[in-house]
Amino acid sequence: MREHDTCRDSLWRPLSHHAHAAMTAGVLLLAAACATNPVTGEREFVLMSEAQELALGQQADGEIQRDMGVYDDPALQEYIQDVGLSLAAVSHRPDLPWQFTVVDSPAVNAFALPGGYIYLTRGIMAYLGDEAELAGVLGHEIGHVTARHAVQSYTRAGGAQLGLVLGQVFVPQMRSNPYGLPGLGDAAGSGLGLLFLKFGREDEVQADRLGAEYASDGGWHPQGVADMLSTLGRISEAADRRGTPNWLSTHPEPEARVTEVRPVVAELLATRGDTTLRVNRSDYLDRLEGLLFGDNPEDGVLRGNEFLHPPLRFALEFPEGWEVQNSATVVLAKQPGQELYMLLQLAENVQGTDLRGIAEAGMESAGYMLRSGGETTINGLDAFIGTYVSQADGVSEVVARVSHIQHGREVYVLGGLGPAEPFSGVESEVNTSIRSFRPVSREEAESILPNEIALYVARAGDTWQSIAQRGGEEIVTARTLAIMNGYPVNEQPRTGDQLKVVVPGGGR
């Protein structure tokens, strides 16, 4: 019997009795991939050095910041950086070039890139109840980095291109972009592809434990980890899933993990006591006043099934019930349960060419041939609408009904696509959506204001329903308000509690 060595086992496992000639070279190559895990202290086989890990994180960070946008609040960014650096300093890898950023997304999520790049969406900040919960989220993501979970996933994938392994942002089901239309596959190799990384249950539980330890060592109450998992576990499947994937899609089973982290919290408190550990609810809530909630009008907003873009001065209606994702380069809608899509994006190479020429050239470059089409007008705007066909891998024929619409100096590509037979059932809806594209007046554009977080002290007799309907307009549901404030949905607010509410904004 010999002591088990995962790294050594990995070295020898690939070498069959047919590989004697290459054995020495293979052992030398694989030996270079053995490393000590910073958290466990155990030897492990990985296909990415720390230098490569840092380089990947640095490259992807630029893509994340460009494609998602950094939330425009320097004071808030400095606050998150300060809390994050305090946690990183007591972690297993304090010397990484740690960076903590709030990105401008309404989705409820937090994620980490290899090398120490940690992100919170502004959406998740609205659901955290205090600074201890904030420390729990940041500590959890730090734990993924210190334990090198992404590096291990990369190794398990055999060293393939990480973006392709982890999936695409816009349409994860379409890993090879079988329909070929521009915009559907552009994110495959970008840093945004990292957002679809799903760690295994063991990795998530380990990150929860590390998050509680780092929070406690940094001076925050470790119960914040369990509290934030409870809150995130209450978020329903109907929560906003547009844009960035939400926490529930990338961090599985938060409610079940509450049970597993509680003994860790109890052990930490027994060792340290909780008299000096910070929660800082009031300070955290003060930081949230004025935080944008939901869509940012600068990037376009969704009101029901209508998408409006105030700066670009246009609006359109997607088919009722379709799921809509908005990103910096494309707006994508999908019929639930079907491989049927609509998209909106800007056309490229439009100077000096008529709309028909722009349409044919753009669609041909994507592998589509024009079957029929013609010039028309849509709500006073010049347009070319065509039906195109393409052969895709594993699909007999793909049909696309696409319009190229001239609005100001830009040409917008708006259309739908899918396999021929099911697409015929939604073609009428797609045509209606195409014909809904309209200019937006300056007055209407200026009236589209963001929603934001405000603070409110609960009074006797208040219910979530009555608070949601203050001012006569229900911006978020009573259920959402309860979850945002850390309450079970069947409990009413307690008199005197300081609560987060959502109000019409526009003052920032």
Helices 131-146 and 223-234, axial angle in degrees (round to 10): 90
Residue 459 CB burial class (10 angstroms; 0-12, 13-18, ≥19):
exposed
Between CA 103 and CA 503 the distance in angstroms is 21
What are the pLDDT digits (tens) for 74-106?
999 999 999 999 999 999 999 999 999 999 988
Residue 41, in any domain of the structure: no
Between CA 172 and CA 406 the distance in angstroms is 30
Do 109 and 227 share a domain, yes or no? yes
pLDDT greater than 70 at residue 246:
no
Which spans in 70-174 are helix H? 74-88, 122-125, 131-146, 149-156, 162-166
The domain boundary residue, chosen from 446, 461, 482: 446
Look at the chain and report how many structural domains it folds into: 4
User: Quick one: tokens of 280?
Assistant: 């800082």
Do 397 and 319 share a domain, yes or no? yes
What are the pLDDT digits (tens) for 441-473?
999 999 988 899 999 999 999 999 999 988 777
Do 240 and 362 share a domain, yes or no? no
What are the pLDDT digits (tens) for 263-291?
999 999 998 776 789 999 999 999 999 99
Do 388 and 256 share a domain, yes or no? no
Do 125 and 197 share a domain, yes or no? yes
Do 432 and 350 share a domain, yes or no? yes
What are the pLDDT digits (tens) for 391-409?
665 557 889 999 999 999 9
pLDDT mean over 239-260:
61
User: Quick one: tokens of 335?
Assistant: 């019929």
Residue 299, in any domain of the structure: no
Residue 222, in any domain of the structure: yes
Residue 43, in any domain of the structure: no
Closest CA to 186 of 202, 162, 168, 166: 168
Closest CA to 346 of 327, 325, 364: 327
Do 441 and 463 share a domain, yes or no? no
CATH number, position 499:
3.10.350
Residue 90, in any domain of the structure: yes
Residue 284 has a pLDDT of: 97
CA atoms within 13 A on the CB side of 212: 25
In the structure, what pLDDT confidence band is assigned to residue 430 with cuts at 50, 70 and 90? very high
pLDDT mean over 11-31:
38
Closest CA to 182 of 58, 332, 76, 356: 332
Phi-psi region of 177 (alpha: psi -120 to 50; beta: other; left: phi over 0): left
What are the pLDDT digits (tens) for 113-162?
889 999 999 999 999 999 999 999 999 999 999 988 887 776 665 544 33
Residue 435, in any domain of the structure: yes
Do 379 and 500 share a domain, yes or no? no
CATH number, position 372:
3.40.1000.10
What are the pLDDT digits (tens) for 208-231?
999 999 999 999 999 999 999 998
Residue 262 has a pLDDT of: 92
Do 140 and 259 share a domain, yes or no? yes
| For the chain, percent of residues with pLDDT exceeding 90 | 49
The domain boundary residue, chosen from 446, 477, 492: 446
pLDDT mean over 63-82:
92
Domain that holds residue 247: 50-168+187-288
Do 88 and 112 share a domain, yes or no? yes
Residue 433, in any domain of the structure: yes
Residue 506 has a pLDDT of: 54
Helices 201-218 and 131-146, axial angle in degrees (round to 10): 120
Integer CA distances (angstroms), 325 to 32, 295, 342, 343, 495, in order? 42, 11, 10, 9, 38
Do 17 and 160 share a domain, yes or no? no
Residue 90 has a pLDDT of: 97
Residue 37, in any domain of the structure: no
Strand partners, 344: 331, 414
Helices 149-156 and 131-146, axial angle in degrees (round to 10): 40
pTM attached to this predicted model: 0.76
Do 119 and 55 share a domain, yes or no? yes
